[in-house]
A and B are shown apart, each in its own frame.
Chain A
């Protein structure tokens, strides 16, 4: 059968992820050190795992309410107030989702009509643009550049706003650049957002992973922004819970009510055992002052510092990323673009990194290196990169 004629155009036109494509190649080599994975190398805190096991043992295997367990929504509400100064009513302003990924889709789907434009800073996470396209809306890139430490500037935003612009996806701390945006920088874009009357979908999944003195600031906490922000977060990065698939979306109740309809019909509810695990993760964190999160953060920080110095001394210049667990060095010094660099490095030294172009054209001279790896692996991998650069005559 010719299936082509059955598959819808929107899906057909979506390109497969550049990361996947590259790592299918990497899988053919032996003894590869990968610095490609975008998930924590830590295991979910014990209390969370135990709570899930207990819930299963007790036979709590049914659906929860559509929005998720009320106790969990209450805990989430307390948490985002405590850490980001945000007030959301657990009754009808928080929905537990299947990862932050579902939340992003809910937000976009809820806002757009066919042909509406959604602005996506570039470079950023690979799922946004296809997600927007799936809703028959148009993804529009807003360039973030190395010179500005990869933040979204008011000017870059202003340049791409049109009368069709409905929303801005704001992904900070950022994957792949590691950039964060401080209060002042957020205030600058908030002015533009209010002026043009658009909604912000703020993906704050890396909110707990910021380093140095600056802590994450949510755009929803700025004057006049809560009412026009859909806040997305989850447990994957903060509590090393990627495989549990649990996120949440917070918004003013009028918007939440609309998103809940989609969630209700396509998902019903987030996995029950995962919700019990998350509840326990949060309750433990309230008691011990987020000890598990702090421990992970401090380990990531040591690795981050190690990498930034090592890469810069090897002439792979990178600005100091203050968030997430990625560094995003420029590879122009080798005369290669990110994709060529990644391919040659893989073939020559068996180190896998992600070509920056996978995150949008503006990333094409860069590579993404994840430091969700042990220091030992990072040390070995950077030694191999050094060998590669020597062969290339850079060092």
Chain B
């Protein structure tokens, strides 16, 4: 990845609906070059997906998100990978991260309601053979996600002075 790739990524992360022509203008590349670079980054997996960031607070649902601290017994050869795979294959699991510090994996789970998440933890996650303990934290309110402030706040006002 060179500087121009990084710039394209920065633009797409701001808004992935910018057109190729607009990205070309903004980065000073030709349209074809932008197309090629984006295709290459999709190919190599640098661009994993185009998605939408929803403010779930505003959605009419009981959906809940939980952050689960998981301690596991690492396996010979595979280390943490095998157990991480066992966990991420569940559909309700959104993120799995290997952590430094006092526990091993952060697992982020979304469920339709509180009960669904509880059931996931008690019936599917904690029963996995190498999981030694879990600590489940339910997210009460999202203030900011993916760099976007989700709550409405009064902006700092700039005045047209002169």
Contacts and interface: CB of A to CB of B under 8 A. Distances in A.
Interface string A10-36: 000000010110110010000000101
Interface in A327-353: none
B55 interface: no
Residues of A contacting B: mostly = helix
A310 B22 CA distance: 8
Given A375-B15, A376-B15, A306 B22 contact: yes
A299 B8 CA distance: 12
Contact of A306 (B10, B26, B161, B162): B26
A305 B10 CA distance: 15
Interface residues of B, number: 17
Contact of B25 (A37, A305, A354): A305
Given A376-B14, A376-B15, A379-B15, A302 B26 contact: yes
Contact of B22 (A17, A23, A34, A309): A309
A136 interface: no
B22 A19 contact: no
Contacts of B21: 309
What range describes how many residues of A lie at the interface? 20 to 34
Interface in B26-57: 26-28
A74 interface: no
B154 to A, nearest CB: 15
Contact of B160 (A20, A41, A302, A305): A20
Interface in B103-162: 158-162
Contacts of A379: 15, 18
Given A302-B7, A306-B25, A379-B15, A37 B162 contact: no
B158 A37 contact: yes
Contact of A302 (B11, B161, B162): B11
A39 interface: yes
A125 B158 CA distance: 18
B26 A37 contact: no
A69 interface: no
Interface string A288-315: 0000000000000011011011100000
A49 to B, nearest CB: 13
Nearest to B158: A37
Nearest to A26: B160
Contacts of A310: 22, 25
5 nearest A-B residue pairs (beta carbon): A309-B25, A23-B160, A37-B158, A305-B26, A302-B26
21 contacts: A20-B160, A23-B160, A36-B160, A37-B158, A37-B160, A38-B161, A38-B162, A39-B158, A125-B162, A302-B10, A302-B27, A303-B26, A305-B27, A305-B28, A306-B22, A308-B25, A310-B25, A354-B160, A375-B11, A375-B15, A376-B15
Interface of A: 17, 19-20, 22-23, 26, 34, 36-39, 41, 125-127, 302-303, 305-306, 308-310, 354, 375-376, 379
Interface of B: 7, 10-11, 14-15, 18, 21-22, 25-28, 158-162
